[in-house]
Structure 1
């Protein structure tokens, strides 16, 4: 290829590059100038950060009961093991297992025939001695009459008088044997000394029972009313004593997992000493139990109502956060619903509700859930939470519950 051809091709490449540059400049100018406006377009404004969804609750005034919570055991008011007081064959049982029994109801019958025979024998012996006594008394009367007229000796009259006294004493002994035989015969029909519920039958009819048997025939437990024995910390002892002086202290019993309410009753007895090994005091409450909601030996969660605080500021306990300086909450501020931390002081922190003494006002909104997603100044989308304190519930204070105060994390 000659020199002139190479020059032509070079000029053609330069023209192509120049045309491409002009086209790129035109496109850039079109993007800078607004179409039809005759001037440059304005730059786009920066977008606002999205709002964070959180759950909020309103600070409210309400009555909050203080429950002292402990673990308890259901106990029958009375438990009786029915045993035989005589030896013999167990002929019949008048009860069925699990039956509700009234005091005085017959339970079992032991063969009464040997004891009836002993009673008849004692009765006959007394009749025999009474006949002898009557004859001796007539002889004594004759001897005394003869002795007054000197037809017989005075010694013979005295001897007859002694025989009369001996027979009289023998008749008293006979009566004692009759009484004992009647008692033994009465033991053959065993009646329930208390009202309650029969347990499993421990001896079947046809077996021989003995007075020295330790196992018994059946166990009867009084279950209405029924008792619950539970423990509370010793530092609450004087508070409970003062409360009992003023009124009946209500006790509520729930299942051991606290998911089911069982019974309401009253506190009756405080034990006479504190357990030094555990630092707790035992207490006994009494409950009506006609529906057998409580069973002896059952483990339950017991709560004693110490007092009720009237008209206090409350928030759900989930709203209260613990920081390096103590307690704080996130308050949703108007008008743009941004959050800001607020130092609070709480007199009580329960599993559901907290009683606030300082830092909040009635009607303010606090974040209940979603605190980990926000920081001071974050705008939120507030969603209402449920009522912080359902009707009839309060703060259950256990052994480790205390008073917490403080401020937000730094």
Structure 2
């Protein structure tokens, strides 16, 4: 059946009106623009205090005195009176060498000295008698002169006998090996009963001084004027030694506090560095010869310095800046970086007590509204849990 044109037009309009109504019914509601919200940040206050400034380098611990104990005469090692690792004092008896042959030589020299003394005594008595007789021409002048020469000869023989005794006593002293320094005994290389020779280069063992001890380190040649001032300062520059620390000294264990003692007399042309040495008291023996350590030398003391944590200062295109809280908003302040490291920065451009943003700067711009957080930051733990 054919539908009239007017009826078809009405049906089409009804379909269009229905589609529009359906679209309006299913259209999502328009979202309203959210009002600007405050940026959560954490803040710190600028502290003012005296801050020491340091320069760091890598150094090696070395003993002030380390001696290899060697025999000074040939002989059999009869006794070892110390143990490996034992602490000894200067002059302590360490070992003995067979001394029987030297004692026999000493006794022989003493006997010869006694014989010469007796001969000299007789010769001097005769000289006095000849002198009295020569006055009355009882003896010839030649006889008197010969007796005088005999007395002089016996005196020289007496001196030679005494020198032989002294030499034997020196040799005898070498049979008792004593420690030349206070220190710790190392690992021994011989046992009792071994025949020792003066030509042995290895020695019996070593004695190394542990307390006090030194650390030798190198610094860039640009530090030479500073080091010269520090060495000449009567207050003696403070030096700290760490193990397991980086060159900033922010980690690791402190092994000891010492003072700068000297700088080398020349700069290394190959490395452009200058060597220096510091001395440490080491009663707990934490510093050990040959140990590599990180050294921090105090070069200055910054009076009334403005100090902030390293996270506060931001790096701009050509300067440093910080975000300072002013009411509920922030403003940028250009600052000058004076010193960095050791967990704090020294800056200029702000005042003591100013409140600066220490966390959350990535979402800030000048004039941003902030919300200061007081609770500590949450630690997010990652990793899958294993089901039982």
TM-score, structure 1 normalization: 0.77
Alignment correspondent of 2:61: 74
Q: Alpha carbons of 1:28 and 1:172: their partners in 2 closer, same or farther (altered >3 Å)? A: closer
Alignment correspondent of 1:64: 51
1:252 counterpart = 2:243: no
1:108 counterpart = 2:100: no
From 256, 273, 276, give the equivalent of 1:280.
273
Contact 1:275 1:281 in 2 (8 A): yes
For 1:56, what is the secondary structure of its paired residue? Answer: strand
Of 79-88 and 182-191, the range deviating more from structure 2 = 79-88
CA shift, 1:188, in A, is 0.3
Separation (CA, whole Å) in 1 of partners of 2:253 and 2:127: 85
Alignment correspondent of 1:406: none
Separation (CA, whole Å) in 2 of partners of 1:204 and 1:382: 74
Q: For this pair of structures, how many residues does the alignment match?
A: 369
Matched ranges for 1:1-400 at <5 A: 45-48=32-35, 53-144=40-131, 150=137, 152-243=139-230, 244-245=232-233, 247-257=235-245, 258=249, 259-335=252-328, 337=329, 341-350=332-341, 352-358=343-349, 360-372=350-362, 374=364, 381-383=371-373
For 1:318, what is the secondary structure of its paired residue? Answer: coil
CA shift, 1:293, in A, is 1.4
For 1:271, what is the secondary structure of its paired residue? Answer: strand
Kindly provide the CA deviation profile for residues 135-167 of structure 1, in whole angstroms up to 9, marking residues without a partner as x. Answer: 334444555555555555443343333223222
Separation (CA, whole Å) in 2 of partners of 1:322 and 1:163: 100
Q: Alpha carbons of 1:365 and 1:151: their partners in 2 closer, same or farther (altered >3 Å)? A: closer
Of 275-284 and 325-334, the range deviating more from structure 2 = 325-334
Structure 2: runs of 5+ lacking an equivalent: 377-388
Separation (CA, whole Å) in 1 of partners of 2:201 and 2:57: 36
Q: Alpha carbons of 1:31 and 1:152: their partners in 2 closer, same or farther (altered >3 Å)? A: closer
For 1:291, what is the secondary structure of its paired residue? Answer: coil
CA shift, 1:76, in A, is 1.2
- Give RMSD over aligned pairs: 3.6
CA shift, 1:43, in A, is 6.8
Separation (CA, whole Å) in 2 of partners of 1:48 and 1:179: 105
Kindly provide the CA deviation profile for residues 34-66 of structure 1, in whole angstroms up to 9, marking residues without a partner as x. Answer: xxxxxxxx9763234666554433322222211
For 1:213, what is the secondary structure of its paired residue? Answer: coil
Q: Alpha carbons of 1:83 and 1:383: their partners in 2 closer, same or farther (altered >3 Å)? A: farther
Of 244-253 and 150-159, the range deviating more from structure 2 = 150-159
